[in-house]
Amino acid sequence: MVEDGAAGAVEDRHVPGGAAAVATVVLPGDGAVLVDVTGPADAVTGVAATPGTPFHLCSVAKTVAAVVVLRLAARGVLGLHDDVRALVPVEVPGETGPTPWQLLAHRGGVVDPPGSFEPTDGPAASTCDVVEGRTDAHPGPVRVTREPGSTFSYSDAGYCLVERAVEVATGESFADVAHREVVAPLGLTATGYWGGEATVAGPRRAVVELFARAAASGHHADGTRVAGGRAHYAGLAASSLWSSPADVAVLLADLGRALAGDDGVLLDRAQGAALRHDPDGVSAGPGTFLLGTDDHPCVMTQGWGRGFQGQVRWYPRSRGAAAVLVNCEPGVAQTGSVVGRRLVALAAVHGWA
Protein backbone atom coordinates (compact mmCIF):
# COMPACT_ATOMS: atom_id res chain seq x y z
CA MET A 1 0.00 0.00 0.00
CA VAL A 2 1.07 3.59 -0.53
CA GLU A 3 1.33 5.91 2.43
CA ASP A 4 -1.73 7.58 3.95
CA GLY A 5 -2.88 10.42 1.74
CA ALA A 6 -1.38 8.98 -1.43
CA ALA A 7 -4.31 6.69 -2.15
CA GLY A 8 -7.84 6.98 -0.82
CA ALA A 9 -11.15 8.03 -2.26
CA VAL A 10 -11.06 8.87 -5.94
CA GLU A 11 -14.57 10.24 -6.44
CA ASP A 12 -13.54 13.77 -5.43
CA ARG A 13 -10.56 13.81 -7.78
CA HIS A 14 -12.20 13.72 -11.18
CA VAL A 15 -12.54 9.96 -11.57
CA PRO A 16 -16.10 8.67 -12.07
CA GLY A 17 -17.13 7.19 -8.74
CA GLY A 18 -16.57 3.45 -8.75
CA ALA A 19 -16.36 3.30 -12.55
CA ALA A 20 -12.60 3.24 -13.07
CA ALA A 21 -9.35 2.11 -11.52
CA VAL A 22 -6.49 4.16 -10.14
CA ALA A 23 -3.01 2.62 -9.95
CA THR A 24 -0.29 4.31 -7.91
CA VAL A 25 3.33 3.18 -8.04
CA VAL A 26 5.86 4.69 -5.63
CA LEU A 27 9.61 4.20 -5.25
CA PRO A 28 10.45 6.30 -2.15
CA GLY A 29 14.19 6.14 -2.83
CA ASP A 30 15.09 3.65 -0.10
CA GLY A 31 14.77 0.54 -2.25
CA ALA A 32 11.11 -0.06 -1.41
CA VAL A 33 8.50 -0.54 -4.13
CA LEU A 34 4.90 0.38 -3.28
CA VAL A 35 2.02 -0.46 -5.61
CA ASP A 36 -1.64 0.32 -4.89
CA VAL A 37 -4.50 -0.43 -7.30
CA THR A 38 -8.16 0.28 -6.58
CA GLY A 39 -11.27 0.11 -8.75
CA PRO A 40 -12.50 -1.98 -11.67
CA ALA A 41 -10.56 -2.87 -14.79
CA ASP A 42 -13.92 -2.79 -16.57
CA ALA A 43 -17.01 -0.94 -15.34
CA VAL A 44 -19.38 -3.28 -17.18
CA THR A 45 -18.02 -6.59 -15.88
CA GLY A 46 -16.91 -5.19 -12.54
CA VAL A 47 -13.67 -7.20 -12.67
CA ALA A 48 -11.20 -5.57 -10.30
CA ALA A 49 -7.93 -4.16 -11.57
CA THR A 50 -4.80 -5.63 -9.97
CA PRO A 51 -1.07 -4.84 -10.05
CA GLY A 52 -0.89 -7.27 -12.99
CA THR A 53 -3.61 -5.59 -15.08
CA PRO A 54 -2.22 -3.92 -18.24
CA PHE A 55 -3.12 -0.24 -18.65
CA HIS A 56 -2.74 1.82 -21.82
CA LEU A 57 0.19 4.15 -21.13
CA CYS A 58 -0.43 6.13 -24.33
CA SER A 59 2.44 8.57 -25.01
CA VAL A 60 4.63 7.15 -22.25
CA ALA A 61 5.44 4.92 -25.22
CA LYS A 62 7.77 7.66 -26.43
CA THR A 63 10.14 7.27 -23.49
CA VAL A 64 10.45 3.53 -24.00
CA ALA A 65 10.94 4.10 -27.74
CA ALA A 66 13.85 6.41 -26.89
CA VAL A 67 15.33 3.65 -24.70
CA VAL A 68 15.06 1.21 -27.61
CA VAL A 69 16.86 3.61 -29.96
CA LEU A 70 19.60 4.40 -27.43
CA ARG A 71 20.29 0.69 -26.98
CA LEU A 72 20.43 0.07 -30.75
CA ALA A 73 22.63 3.11 -31.30
CA ALA A 74 25.09 1.92 -28.65
CA ARG A 75 25.63 -1.24 -30.71
CA GLY A 76 25.88 0.61 -34.00
CA VAL A 77 22.61 -0.73 -35.40
CA LEU A 78 21.62 2.81 -36.34
CA GLY A 79 23.21 6.22 -35.90
CA LEU A 80 21.59 8.43 -33.30
CA HIS A 81 22.83 11.56 -35.07
CA ASP A 82 22.73 10.34 -38.68
CA ASP A 83 20.30 11.62 -41.29
CA VAL A 84 17.22 9.39 -40.98
CA ARG A 85 16.83 9.41 -44.78
CA ALA A 86 19.56 6.78 -44.95
CA LEU A 87 16.86 4.43 -43.64
CA VAL A 88 13.52 6.10 -44.39
CA PRO A 89 12.90 8.28 -47.45
CA VAL A 90 11.15 11.47 -46.38
CA GLU A 91 10.59 14.84 -48.00
CA VAL A 92 12.55 17.68 -46.37
CA PRO A 93 12.52 21.46 -46.97
CA GLY A 94 16.29 21.79 -47.41
CA GLU A 95 19.38 19.67 -47.82
CA THR A 96 19.43 18.19 -44.33
CA GLY A 97 17.16 15.49 -42.98
CA PRO A 98 16.32 14.95 -39.31
CA THR A 99 18.27 12.60 -37.09
CA PRO A 100 16.70 9.97 -34.83
CA TRP A 101 17.71 12.07 -31.81
CA GLN A 102 15.98 15.17 -33.21
CA LEU A 103 12.83 13.18 -33.96
CA LEU A 104 12.79 11.61 -30.48
CA ALA A 105 13.22 15.07 -28.93
CA HIS A 106 10.49 16.65 -31.13
CA ARG A 107 13.02 18.82 -32.95
CA GLY A 108 12.94 16.98 -36.27
CA GLY A 109 10.87 19.55 -38.17
CA VAL A 110 7.78 17.30 -38.38
CA VAL A 111 4.47 18.97 -37.53
CA ASP A 112 1.37 16.80 -37.04
CA PRO A 113 -1.56 17.96 -39.21
CA PRO A 114 -4.81 18.80 -37.36
CA GLY A 115 -7.01 15.76 -36.88
CA SER A 116 -4.24 13.24 -37.38
CA PHE A 117 -3.78 10.14 -35.24
CA GLU A 118 -7.38 9.75 -34.15
CA PRO A 119 -8.06 6.49 -32.28
CA THR A 120 -9.86 3.50 -33.78
CA ASP A 121 -11.87 0.68 -32.22
CA GLY A 122 -10.14 -1.99 -34.27
CA PRO A 123 -6.47 -2.81 -34.92
CA ALA A 124 -4.33 0.20 -35.75
CA ALA A 125 -2.90 0.81 -39.21
CA SER A 126 0.70 -0.17 -39.82
CA THR A 127 3.28 2.55 -39.31
CA CYS A 128 4.73 1.87 -42.75
CA ASP A 129 1.34 2.73 -44.26
CA VAL A 130 1.11 5.86 -42.07
CA VAL A 131 4.53 7.12 -43.17
CA GLU A 132 3.70 6.52 -46.82
CA GLY A 133 0.29 8.17 -46.62
CA ARG A 134 -1.96 5.17 -47.10
CA THR A 135 -4.16 5.60 -44.00
CA ASP A 136 -6.67 7.98 -42.44
CA ALA A 137 -4.33 8.43 -39.47
CA HIS A 138 -2.22 11.00 -41.31
CA PRO A 139 -3.22 12.98 -44.44
CA GLY A 140 -0.66 12.08 -47.06
CA PRO A 141 2.92 10.92 -46.45
CA VAL A 142 4.79 12.11 -43.36
CA ARG A 143 6.92 15.12 -44.32
CA VAL A 144 9.51 17.35 -42.72
CA THR A 145 8.20 20.89 -43.11
CA ARG A 146 10.63 22.85 -40.92
CA GLU A 147 14.41 22.89 -40.79
CA PRO A 148 15.44 20.00 -38.53
CA GLY A 149 16.73 21.27 -35.19
CA SER A 150 15.24 24.72 -35.62
CA THR A 151 12.21 24.44 -33.33
CA PHE A 152 10.33 22.20 -30.92
CA SER A 153 7.06 20.70 -32.16
CA TYR A 154 5.51 17.73 -30.35
CA SER A 155 4.97 15.13 -33.05
CA ASP A 156 3.59 11.60 -33.22
CA ALA A 157 4.46 11.53 -36.93
CA GLY A 158 8.10 12.14 -36.08
CA TYR A 159 8.00 9.01 -33.94
CA CYS A 160 6.55 7.12 -36.88
CA LEU A 161 9.74 7.96 -38.78
CA VAL A 162 11.81 6.68 -35.84
CA GLU A 163 9.76 3.49 -35.72
CA ARG A 164 10.30 2.86 -39.42
CA ALA A 165 14.03 3.58 -39.07
CA VAL A 166 14.25 0.91 -36.36
CA GLU A 167 12.37 -1.56 -38.54
CA VAL A 168 14.53 -0.96 -41.58
CA ALA A 169 17.76 -1.08 -39.57
CA THR A 170 16.85 -4.35 -37.83
CA GLY A 171 14.62 -6.07 -40.38
CA GLU A 172 12.07 -6.69 -37.61
CA SER A 173 8.84 -5.10 -36.44
CA PHE A 174 9.28 -2.32 -33.90
CA ALA A 175 7.15 -4.18 -31.37
CA ASP A 176 9.39 -7.24 -31.65
CA VAL A 177 12.52 -5.13 -31.27
CA ALA A 178 11.10 -3.41 -28.19
CA HIS A 179 10.24 -6.79 -26.69
CA ARG A 180 13.82 -7.95 -27.12
CA GLU A 181 15.45 -4.69 -26.03
CA VAL A 182 13.22 -3.75 -23.05
CA VAL A 183 10.70 -6.40 -22.04
CA ALA A 184 12.96 -9.47 -22.06
CA PRO A 185 16.00 -7.96 -20.26
CA LEU A 186 13.80 -6.81 -17.36
CA GLY A 187 11.70 -9.96 -17.23
CA LEU A 188 8.47 -8.00 -17.73
CA THR A 189 5.34 -10.09 -18.22
CA ALA A 190 2.61 -7.57 -19.03
CA THR A 191 4.35 -4.90 -21.11
CA GLY A 192 4.57 -4.28 -24.83
CA TYR A 193 3.54 -2.26 -27.84
CA TRP A 194 0.08 -3.31 -28.97
CA GLY A 195 -2.03 -2.18 -31.88
CA GLY A 196 -5.14 -4.22 -31.05
CA GLU A 197 -4.35 -7.55 -32.71
CA ALA A 198 -5.77 -10.67 -31.05
CA THR A 199 -2.57 -12.68 -31.33
CA VAL A 200 0.86 -12.66 -32.96
CA ALA A 201 3.56 -15.21 -33.64
CA GLY A 202 6.87 -15.28 -31.85
CA PRO A 203 8.09 -14.13 -28.42
CA ARG A 204 5.32 -11.53 -28.00
CA ARG A 205 2.50 -14.01 -28.36
CA ALA A 206 1.83 -14.48 -24.63
CA VAL A 207 1.76 -10.78 -23.81
CA VAL A 208 -0.42 -9.83 -26.80
CA GLU A 209 -2.93 -12.53 -25.88
CA LEU A 210 -2.85 -11.23 -22.30
CA PHE A 211 -3.66 -7.73 -23.55
CA ALA A 212 -6.51 -8.98 -25.71
CA ARG A 213 -7.95 -11.03 -22.85
CA ALA A 214 -7.31 -9.00 -19.71
CA ALA A 215 -6.11 -5.45 -20.35
CA ALA A 216 -8.09 -2.73 -18.59
CA SER A 217 -10.93 -1.16 -20.54
CA GLY A 218 -11.02 2.58 -21.06
CA HIS A 219 -13.85 4.79 -19.80
CA HIS A 220 -15.22 8.21 -20.64
CA ALA A 221 -15.50 11.01 -18.11
CA ASP A 222 -19.11 10.02 -17.39
CA GLY A 223 -18.04 6.52 -16.42
CA THR A 224 -19.27 4.72 -19.52
CA ARG A 225 -16.92 2.28 -21.24
CA VAL A 226 -15.39 3.34 -24.55
CA ALA A 227 -16.64 1.56 -27.67
CA GLY A 228 -15.00 -1.83 -27.91
CA GLY A 229 -13.45 -1.40 -24.49
CA ARG A 230 -10.09 -0.20 -25.79
CA ALA A 231 -9.09 2.31 -28.44
CA HIS A 232 -5.95 1.95 -30.53
CA TYR A 233 -3.65 4.47 -32.20
CA ALA A 234 -1.51 4.25 -35.31
CA GLY A 235 2.16 4.79 -34.62
CA LEU A 236 3.08 2.25 -31.95
CA ALA A 237 6.28 4.00 -30.86
CA ALA A 238 4.35 7.23 -30.29
CA SER A 239 1.36 6.11 -28.28
CA SER A 240 0.67 2.39 -28.05
CA LEU A 241 2.55 1.07 -25.02
CA TRP A 242 0.61 -1.08 -22.54
CA SER A 243 1.96 -2.13 -19.15
CA SER A 244 0.83 -3.30 -15.73
CA PRO A 245 1.48 -1.31 -12.54
CA ALA A 246 3.80 -4.11 -11.36
CA ASP A 247 5.86 -3.86 -14.56
CA VAL A 248 5.84 -0.06 -14.41
CA ALA A 249 7.49 -0.34 -10.99
CA VAL A 250 10.32 -2.38 -12.55
CA LEU A 251 10.75 0.16 -15.36
CA LEU A 252 10.74 3.03 -12.85
CA ALA A 253 13.47 1.39 -10.81
CA ASP A 254 15.75 0.46 -13.69
CA LEU A 255 15.52 3.70 -15.68
CA GLY A 256 15.77 5.63 -12.43
CA ARG A 257 19.23 4.18 -11.84
CA ALA A 258 20.48 5.46 -15.19
CA LEU A 259 18.82 8.85 -14.72
CA ALA A 260 20.50 9.17 -11.32
CA GLY A 261 23.94 8.48 -12.76
CA ASP A 262 24.33 4.75 -12.20
CA ASP A 263 24.26 1.86 -14.67
CA GLY A 264 20.93 0.07 -15.04
CA VAL A 265 20.01 -3.05 -16.94
CA LEU A 266 18.63 -1.16 -19.95
CA LEU A 267 20.79 1.97 -19.97
CA ASP A 268 24.16 2.93 -18.56
CA ARG A 269 24.82 6.27 -16.91
CA ALA A 270 25.81 7.96 -20.19
CA GLN A 271 22.59 6.83 -21.84
CA GLY A 272 20.64 8.00 -18.80
CA ALA A 273 22.23 11.41 -19.25
CA ALA A 274 21.17 11.31 -22.90
CA LEU A 275 17.52 11.01 -21.83
CA ARG A 276 17.97 14.32 -19.99
CA HIS A 277 19.91 16.07 -22.78
CA ASP A 278 18.29 19.43 -23.57
CA PRO A 279 20.82 21.46 -25.58
CA ASP A 280 18.53 24.38 -26.42
CA GLY A 281 16.71 24.66 -23.11
CA VAL A 282 13.16 23.77 -24.17
CA SER A 283 12.72 21.45 -21.15
CA ALA A 284 12.51 18.31 -23.26
CA GLY A 285 14.87 15.44 -23.96
CA PRO A 286 14.34 12.41 -26.21
CA GLY A 287 11.04 10.95 -25.02
CA THR A 288 11.08 13.01 -21.82
CA PHE A 289 10.09 16.34 -20.33
CA LEU A 290 12.40 18.05 -17.84
CA LEU A 291 10.77 19.75 -14.87
CA GLY A 292 11.79 21.00 -11.45
CA THR A 293 14.89 22.99 -10.54
CA ASP A 294 18.63 22.39 -10.47
CA ASP A 295 18.31 21.41 -6.82
CA HIS A 296 15.25 19.21 -7.40
CA PRO A 297 15.27 18.01 -11.02
CA CYS A 298 12.36 15.95 -12.30
CA VAL A 299 12.19 13.81 -15.44
CA MET A 300 8.61 13.30 -16.58
CA THR A 301 6.71 11.36 -19.22
CA GLN A 302 2.95 11.34 -19.62
CA GLY A 303 0.14 10.10 -21.79
CA TRP A 304 -3.55 10.37 -22.33
CA GLY A 305 -5.89 8.92 -24.90
CA ARG A 306 -9.41 7.69 -25.31
CA GLY A 307 -10.27 6.16 -21.93
CA PHE A 308 -6.87 6.44 -20.20
CA GLN A 309 -4.55 8.95 -18.57
CA GLY A 310 -1.22 8.51 -16.79
CA GLN A 311 2.06 10.12 -15.84
CA VAL A 312 5.48 8.98 -14.61
CA ARG A 313 8.00 11.10 -12.72
CA TRP A 314 11.59 10.43 -11.68
CA TYR A 315 13.49 12.56 -9.15
CA PRO A 316 17.15 11.68 -9.86
CA ARG A 317 18.67 13.67 -7.00
CA SER A 318 16.69 11.79 -4.33
CA ARG A 319 16.31 8.59 -6.40
CA GLY A 320 12.56 8.67 -5.92
CA ALA A 321 9.95 7.97 -8.57
CA ALA A 322 6.21 7.63 -8.93
CA ALA A 323 3.52 6.85 -11.48
CA VAL A 324 -0.25 7.28 -11.44
CA LEU A 325 -2.43 5.54 -14.04
CA VAL A 326 -6.21 5.67 -14.55
CA ASN A 327 -8.41 3.80 -17.02
CA CYS A 328 -10.71 6.75 -17.64
CA GLU A 329 -10.72 10.25 -19.05
CA PRO A 330 -11.03 12.40 -15.92
CA GLY A 331 -12.51 15.28 -17.91
CA VAL A 332 -9.78 17.70 -16.84
CA ALA A 333 -6.11 18.19 -17.62
CA GLN A 334 -3.60 16.12 -15.71
CA THR A 335 -2.72 18.98 -13.40
CA GLY A 336 -6.27 18.91 -12.02
CA SER A 337 -7.02 15.19 -12.22
CA VAL A 338 -6.23 12.40 -9.79
CA VAL A 339 -3.05 11.83 -11.81
CA GLY A 340 -1.46 15.23 -11.31
CA ARG A 341 -2.85 15.87 -7.86
CA ARG A 342 -1.63 12.57 -6.49
CA LEU A 343 1.84 13.03 -7.99
CA VAL A 344 2.14 16.48 -6.44
CA ALA A 345 1.05 15.06 -3.08
CA LEU A 346 3.59 12.24 -3.30
CA ALA A 347 6.40 14.66 -4.12
CA ALA A 348 5.49 16.73 -1.08
CA VAL A 349 5.25 13.71 1.24
CA HIS A 350 8.65 12.39 0.18
CA GLY A 351 10.42 15.74 -0.12
CA TRP A 352 11.21 15.30 -3.78
CA ALA A 353 10.16 18.77 -4.92
**Which residues, in sequence order, are CB contacts of 135 under 8 Å at separation 6+?**
125, 129, 234
Q: Which domains does the chain have, with CATH numbers?
A: 11-61+190-350 (3.40.710.10), 64-170 (1.20.58)
Per-residue model confidence (pLDDT) at position 121:
87
Q: Which helix (H) or strand (E) holds 298?
A: strand 297-305
Per-residue model confidence (pLDDT) at position 2:
35
Per-residue model confidence (pLDDT) at position 122:
85
**Which residues, in sequence order, are CB contacts of 158 under 8 Å at separation 6+?**
98, 103, 104, 106, 108, 110, 142
pTM of the full predicted structure? 0.95
Per-residue model confidence (pLDDT) at position 295:
87
Tell me if residue 344 falls in helix, strand or coil.
helix
- How do the pLDDT tens digits run along the chain, 353 residues long? 333 333 433 333 456 556 799 999 999 999 999 999 999 999 999 999 999 999 999 999 999 999 999 999 999 999 999 999 999 999 999 999 999 999 999 999 999 999 999 999 889 999 999 999 999 999 999 999 999 999 999 999 999 999 999 999 999 999 999 999 999 999 999 999 999 999 999 999 999 999 999 999 999 999 999 999 999 999 999 999 999 999 999 999 999 999 999 999 999 999 999 999 999 999 999 999 999 988 899 999 999 999 999 999 999 999 999 999 999 999 898 999 999 999 999 999 999 98
Task: Kindly list the distances between the CA atom of residue 139 and the CA atoms of 12, 133, 187, 340, in Å, as whole numbers in the listed order.
Answer: 40, 6, 39, 33
